[in-house]
Amino acid sequence: MRKFFFFAIFLSLFSPQKAQAAFSFNIASSSATVITSGSQDVEVGLNVLDLPSESYFRVSLQKEGGGSYYGYVLNSNGDWAKIQILDGDCTAYYKVTDTSITSLLLKYRIGDDTEIPNGNYYLKAHRFTKACSYTEATNFLSLEVSLPTPTPTPSATPTPEPTETPQPTDVPTPQPPSSTPVPTSTPRPTSTPKPTVTPKLSPTPSLSEYDLLASESAEEVLGTESVLNENSTPEGKIKKGKFSFWPFVFIIPGLGMICFSVLLLRKQKI
């Protein structure tokens, strides 16, 4: 009996220490079972056992059949962190540095900008290490999402404004082409023949002047050339000069004889 007692003491002194309890956590409560608004806050309580180190926690919604996670979680800085995929960055979630905690309260909301269909969902919780490796809670809760369906506002149909019917414009009647004036030929100026200058004859002097002129002409004839040749020009003009009365010496008596003969003949007929 004494030997057995000492053996028990020996085992208690030299046996390995009792193994440390394993970490675990679960969802203890939820403030809502139906979510009717994207901005509705849901408080979720967690139970934590033997938290081994600094950690990050989050809660989110997932469709019952699996798939994407939806929503936002309020972190320890007071900011709403959007839920990412499980392999994404975890440092934006709620940070816990006190490893002695046994409970935790998180706030969750869907978010007005989150596109999520109405239906039944699972509320799940995850814990992440500094390296963002994760552990899922041992349980989940069922929640229903029943967001109001936005009613499309009918857009006002613009009333078509009456369009003005274009009035037919007067088409100008084509005018017949005007007769093209025939250019009249301008007669060329013909050269006007130069007028032939007819020599003017001086009036026949009277018998009283005849003797005086005859005597003057007789003196000039002796020492001068013919007046006609001297005063004539190539154009046939006669220059003004002295007149010769010699031809009349024979013409006047002849005319007198003719007149006398005519008078005799008329007397005989009478």
As a three-state string, the secondary structure of 31-96 is CCCEECCCCCCEEEEEEEECCCCCEEEEEEEEECCCCCEECEEECCCCCEEECCCCCCCCCCCEEE
SS3 state of residue 11: helix
Return the structure tokens found at 140: 């989940």
What pLDDT digit, counting tens, does each position of 66-111 carry? 999 999 999 999 999 999 999 999 999 999 999 999 999 999 999 9
CB 131 within 8 A of CB 53: no
Q: Residue 89 in contact with residue 98, Cβ under 8 Å?
A: no
pLDDT in tens, 35-73: 999 999 999 999 999 999 999 999 999 999 899 999 999
The boundaries of every CATH 2.60.40.1930 domain in the chain are: 21-145
pTM: 0.51
Write down the residue that tokens 């905690």 correspond to.
101
- pLDDT the model gives residue 132: 96
The fourth-level CATH superfamily of domain 21-145 is Macroglobulin (MG2) domain (2.60.40.1930)
> From the CB of residue 259, how many other CB atoms can be counted at a distance below 10 Å?
9
What pLDDT does 250 receive? 75
Q: Which long-range contacts (CB under 8 A, 24 or more apart) does 241-246 make?
A: 242/217, 243/202, 243/213, 244/217, 245/205, 245/210, 245/213, 245/214, 245/217, 246/214, 246/217, 246/221
Task: Using pLDDT thresholds of 50, 70 and 90, give the confidence band for residue 267.
Answer: confident
- The answer to whether the beta carbons of residues 140 and 46 sit under 8 Å apart is no
Cβ atoms of 56 and 95 within 8 Å: the answer is: yes
The CA distances from residue 100 to 24, 48, 134, in Å, are 13, 9, 19
pLDDT for residue 222 is more than 50: no
Q: How far is CA 91 from CA 86, 87, 108, 180, in A?
A: 12, 12, 17, 100
For residue 218, give the 3-state DSSP assignment: helix
